[in-house]
Amino acid sequence: MTTFGERLKELRKSKGYTQQQLADIFSLSKSSISRYEKNLQLPEASTLPRIAEFFGVSLDYLMGHDGEDNEKLYEFNIDDIVIPEDYLEKYKVTHMDKKQYVLYLKREIEAFFMNDEFDEEDKKEILDTMSEIFWQAKAMSKRKK
């Protein structure tokens, strides 16, 4: 599997952009682009779809997934996302909310399960907790507006 950083660098160079030019396009610093390409940091969840759209690629491709080597853990059907009832009662869930959720989980899963020391039951419990945190944070954000 190709990493996000490798894929970003490959796309940037294929379009003939410097790190500074790409940073300017996305209102980022050149050091942010450098950190992304060195796999030291991932962009904010809201920036990832913008980068994918800019380069005309899917989020899966941008994140380094080629299709064949996607692990089961990273497979999410956006239409099968389970959203807490209390959230649904208060807020409308958009397609973008679901995309953000999938990006959040993919990023967090990579961090938590890198060394694969968790059994399946522990992984499910962690995923459930991360899901709960995401929707709580989303609700808090909407209440502030």
118 vs 124: CA distance, rounded Å: 10
Q: What residue ranges do the domains of the chain occupy?
A: 1-68, 71-145
CA 66 to chain centre: 16
- Cβ(36)–Cβ(8) under 8 Å? yes
pLDDT tens-digit map of 116-145 = 566 767 777 777 788 888 888 888 887 776
Angle formed at CA 106 by CA 105 and CA 111, multiple of 5 degrees: 95
Cα separation, 28 vs 32, in Å, equals 6
How is domain 1-68 classified at the CATH fold level? 434 Repressor (Amino-terminal Domain) (1.10.260)
pLDDT tens-digit readout, 38-83: 988 888 878 888 898 898 888 878 887 765 433 444 455 666 677 8
